[in-house]
Amino acid sequence: MLLSSPPRSRSRQPKPICPPEHFLYQIKHDCYFTNGTERVRYLYRDIYNGRQDVHFDSELGVYVADTELGRPDAEGWNKDPGILADRRAAVDTFCRYNYGVAQTGKVVGRTGERGPGQERERGSEGPG
């Protein structure tokens, strides 16, 4: 998790901010394919407690703040050419790279099929 705050002098270091006892932080990467891999859209989403705060859309090529909480992250990430280059490249390095795996239907959890070495013997399903 990346927390952004203005720099402070060493003599006035604040106490660390503890997150609430129960919270959910998610990062989601989505790929949308049109006509095979001819047109690919990559979407990165940063979600805190069910609210999307910032996202990156490969069609825009920059981070967009969805809430005030996401604004410092979006501004900081948009100023870093290395971070932007990595996200822009994700269309190829993440989406197109994994396209063949998704097409086979052997993605774990998608069809309930088991990969190599994960077959169970008859009668050994266990509890449930």
Task: Read off the pLDDT of residues 81-113 as tens digits, 9 standing for 90 and up.
Answer: 999 999 999 999 999 988 887 777 665 554 445
| Among the four given CATH numbers 3.40.50.620, 3.10.320.10, 3.40.50.300, 3.20.20.150, the one describing domain 21-102 | 3.10.320.10
Angle, nearest 10°, between helix axes 71-79 and 81-90? 100
Write down the pTM of the prediction.
Answer: 0.63
Give the per-residue pLDDT at 98.
Answer: 87
Q: Residue 30: in which H helix or E strand, if any? A: strand 25-34
pLDDT value at 14 more than 60: no
Tell me phi and psi for residue 47, to 5 degrees.
Answer: -125, 130
Most confident among 56-65, 106-115, 118-127 (mean pLDDT)? 56-65
DSSP string, 39-69: EEEEEEEEEETTEEEEEEETTTTEEEESSGG
